Amino acid sequence: MIDRLTEFVDRLRLLGVAVSTSEVIDASRVLGLIDWDDRETFRSALSAALIKNSAHRFLFDVLFDVYFSHSPHDLQLPDEATGDLPEAIVESLLLNDDRALDDLAFESIQRFAGIEPGRPVGGRYYQWKVEQALGMSEITDRLASRLASDAQAGSILDGRLSQDEARDRVAGFRARIERIIRSRLVAERGPEAMARALARPLPEDVEFLQATADELVEMKRSVASLARRLAARLSYKHHRTRRGRLDFRRTIRASLQTGGTPAYPKFKQRTVRPDIVVLCDVSGSV
């Protein structure tokens, strides 16, 4: 496990996430305090030890699923194949039966994904094939209808809450499908190849002209956070140096009025020069 943790941290650093040696030591100590089979606790503990910037959490989650994924042999096809998969999925989502949902997700992948060994296709394509074959929108509607009937919802608000609950549960089932597909691809191609294929650049590394809408939102958040830090730094520097250094001669002269006691210290005036950053392109016109 320590070797896998080292590979995981090396990949984070390679992709731009700053992880110090002391944080790696803290993460290794965490391994002795938690149950490795509880994946969410494992994920939360490692992220608390290694991740300092919320913008880096997405990259952490992707690499965590790659380097600490379940083996595809952990899940086995049920003894009897389920006939009506969408109906079985709705029933299991109603009961929140995790084991049944894992089995149904595995069976859905076996039937509809068509994973071909050696084919350079990402997991998104296989997940899209499974979701299209199952009809996720119909499953969501059927689940929302069942939730509303079980709760005897009568108002528009109750119906909307049932719809939101159905979306959340179906999103969790989609995550199961994605996790199992990723586990199979990791077993086939290795964690390093999958990490290179799935990892996207951090907000601070994205090129402006090629940024997507989501990446632009993340960049604005990063810039806003940086602006607050610079403003706080300048304010601290201004307050710290507002009166400048002690003017010893003027303080001694002023102390003559109080019998030699420096009751009114004098300071040299200083001008705070803010940091100036110039942003420009490197085109021929410049």
Q: What is the pLDDT of residues 115-137, one digit of tens each?
A: 776 665 566 778 888 888 888 88
Residue 213 binned pLDDT confidence (cut-offs 50, 70, 90): confident
Joined tokens for residue 93: 């989502």
- The closest alpha carbon to 203, from 213, 224, 214, 218, belongs to 218
pLDDT tier for residue 186 given thresholds of 50, 70 and 90: low
Residue 256 has what pLDDT? 87
- 3-state class (DSSP) for residue 78: coil
- pLDDT > 50? residue 263: yes
Q: Provide the pLDDT confidence category of residue 151 given band limits of 50, 70 and 90.
A: low
Asked whether residue 108 carries a pLDDT value surpassing 80, the answer given is: yes
- The pLDDT score that the predictor gives to residue 85 is 84
Interhelix angle for 156-189 vs 85-95, to 10°?
110
The whole-chain average pLDDT of the chain stands at 77
* Residue 82: per-residue pLDDT: 52
Q: What is the pLDDT of residue 73?
A: 44
What is the per-residue pLDDT for 203? 64
Whole-model pTM: value is 0.50
Q: What is the CA radius of gyration of the chain?
A: 29
Residue 65's pLDDT band (cuts 50, 70, 90): confident
Residue 52's nearest CA partner among 225, 230, 260, 239 is: 225
Q: Does residue 201 surpass a pLDDT of 70?
A: no
Distance CA 206, CA 216 (A): 9
More confidently predicted of 96 and 71: 96
CA angle 141, 145, 148 (to 5 degrees): 135
